[in-house]
Structure 1
Amino acid sequence: MARSRGEKEQSFHDKNTGFLKLLQVVSFLVVFVVGVVIGLVTSAHINRHLGAQTETYSFINNFSSSSKETTPPPPPPLEPNYCPAVVQNCEKVDCLSMATFLEPNKNLTHGMSDNELFWRASLVPGTKEYPYERVPKVAFLFMTRGPLPLMPLWERFFQGHDNKLFSVYVHVVPGYRVNASTTSPFYRREIPSQPVSWGSVTLVDAERRLLANALLDFSNERFILLSESCIPVYNFPTVYKYLTGSKYSFVESYDDAGRFGRGRYSRRMLPDIQLYQWRKGSQWFELSRTLAAIIVADVRYYTVFSKYCLPACYPDEHYMATYFNMFHGSLNSNRTVTWVDWSVGGPHPAMYGGENVTEDFVRSIRNNGALCQYNSEMTSICNLFARKFAPTALEPLLELASSVMEF
């Protein structure tokens, strides 16, 4: 008997349901088997890794035991201001402390460009009072091409005096190190420098660079420019008292109507600098902190000189002399405290060697009978330093230091 339509549909439904159940069972078995295989493989890999580590640790422990050494403890966690082992003499530094701010790195190294340095050095506190006990220092700024042959004389000059009263800065050929002992006031006192050529604006650059580096130390109050051929002709106490007690700076500035004075003026400096304002003077200056900060901050007039004071115009003889005459004449004595002999003529002063150094000669530099003004009084002490002296002058100068120069 033939099946009805309903019976056929029911039979087809039952078959489909059975097939689906079978498919589910098979899928479950496949997933289960794959999971078991993955688990076995992973377990075997972990066992091999742990076994290798166990062998390694066993080797280390056996080696340590045989060499009678103990396994070092694990390193401690890093702390703030942690210094890697490769850094020598690493110290924790509070960059915002007054001590760090007032006295920069003792070896004078820094990565500032000249523009950054001049900007930093020209910052002037608005408060006149100091929040600490300030002892004014004299900064001795040496500009040299290489060695300092008269350094033993200067070391004797500084000997026995508190380094809180003075500081030394040396501008030298980039990369050159002054051969000074660790106890010398010249030890590691080279500033970041640039090449310098005689008669060009690079001399002024070097002067401003020395001033700027010295201005970073807020205790520096007076700044004297010197060379490798300069000597002191008075002892340190006399020099210190003379400079720190002065109301004025010592920058030679005079009007020379001849071709070596006004003859070097360029009309291209107009309208910034007029001919009647033009001045000439010795390169070897001494500045108060006020004027040092002003000259380091100047951009306008320095730019004029760098563009238009070209050979035979020498910026180091005219820039500061003219600038201070224009704006700060009331703060300047218009004379230098460094003796130089120009009687021989020519572009360079006389050079004195060992055969020239006598007691009478040194005494004549110290006091030749002429008087000069110091503050509101007249004095016979006009020259504190002298140049130019050759390396051969060192020994006779050392012999006269105690009896004539009193140091």
Structure 2
Amino acid sequence: MDLSYSEHLIQIPNLCGAINLESINLQGCISLVQVPSCFKNLDKLELLDLSDCENLKDGMENLPLNIRELKLCRTAIEELPSSVRSLLGLLDLDMSGCNNLKYGMESLPLNLKKLRLCGTAIQVVPSSIGCLMGLSHLDLYNCKRLKCLPKSIWKLKSLGWLDLSNCPNLIELEDCTSSSLRYLKISGCTGLRSIIELPSSLTCLDANNCSSLETISSWRTPTAQDYDPQVQHKNNKSKGEIYNFEQCLKLDDNTRNNVFTNVARRRILSAQDDISYLEMVYPGSEILWGFSYRALYGNSFIQLPPKLFNINDSRFKFVFCAVFVFKISRPETKIRFRFNFTTSMYSSVRGSFNYEDSCTLQVNNNSDHVIVRYATIDLRHVFGVNWSSVCRMVTGASFHVFMEQEKSVNWKIKQFGFELANTWGASNILKVKRPWN
């Protein structure tokens, strides 16, 4: 039943004759002030949308016990009543934008899988959230009064997705290594100063503009379980990893030079056969150690020996690292990277080939940042079905990094290194050497 945006709807007629209703949409019914009492008899009702019922405040006790998805976004609810705890069929609860909601989180039903509390007035997440053993998705975006998280939240083995972005009063993340988080977003947590330890399971971490963040004490090395194919398919369909620390300018030297360096190396070593790309961005003025091919200062080109492409595996694995700086601010821009190949081919076949890809960054002016990118390309897509024969005929190769649609006066590559995983093998990729003079 769809009565959405019925602005003058004050009450719902008796629905005793509509006991087979499975969904009701009352979104935008701004005159509705409570959940109708007749709803508690709708045993087959699974979806109830009360979003944007901006005057709705009461009647939660009238919700049917078997409801599975409940949308209360941007309503006037101030407290979640204890009656909600009895909704054991409820799997998805969305209370985003309930600006007055402060209390009642202890009443959350135990079988919840998804919980969205974005923009609410809650200050504390109760320790009882650790009882929601099936919770997989928790969204606390823009909870500006949120000050801390309970230790019990990190023991939720099903919790794979946590958004804490724009929570300016959150000061510290405690040891969360016992969690199974794969996606963690803390961007815009301007009060966050320290992270005790990050779990090895993370495949996406967005900490952009954590302007007070000073230290990450430790970051666990990934285990075989972290790259379990079933887990990867379920939680990370793109099979890539992204770690973003743009504009975290207060990070200490240990975090930048040791923690990030070790994480990049170890994750690339551990995940070569399980991911197609890895990307890490953080403030810094030095590229990682151990790159055999380096560009001269300010140069964004690297010439590569043709023999590197005489390989047996069409999966071409490489790592590049660059220090870049922008002279102007941009909400976002793309760093593009390109391979150019020339070959000694028969006249009937073209003798030049190229491959190009990109990654997106959010940048501010005059701050040096490091990007580390591991990627895999399929040479069959570059050279065609006869890729192996073409590779043996490569006479010239180069790698180029540049900013999409940006004038060269607006940006600069200060350092640039490149490494081929296919040539040196997994055991030697990014091996540690002394820094260059």
Same-fold call, TM cutoff 0.5 = no
Q: Which of 1 and 2 has higher RCO (CA within 8 Å, sep 6+)?
A: 1
TM-score, normalised relative to structure 1: 0.29
Give 1 or 2 for the bigger CA radius of gyration.
Answer: 1
* Structure whose residues are more often strand by fraction: 2
* Structure whose residues are more often helix by fraction: 1
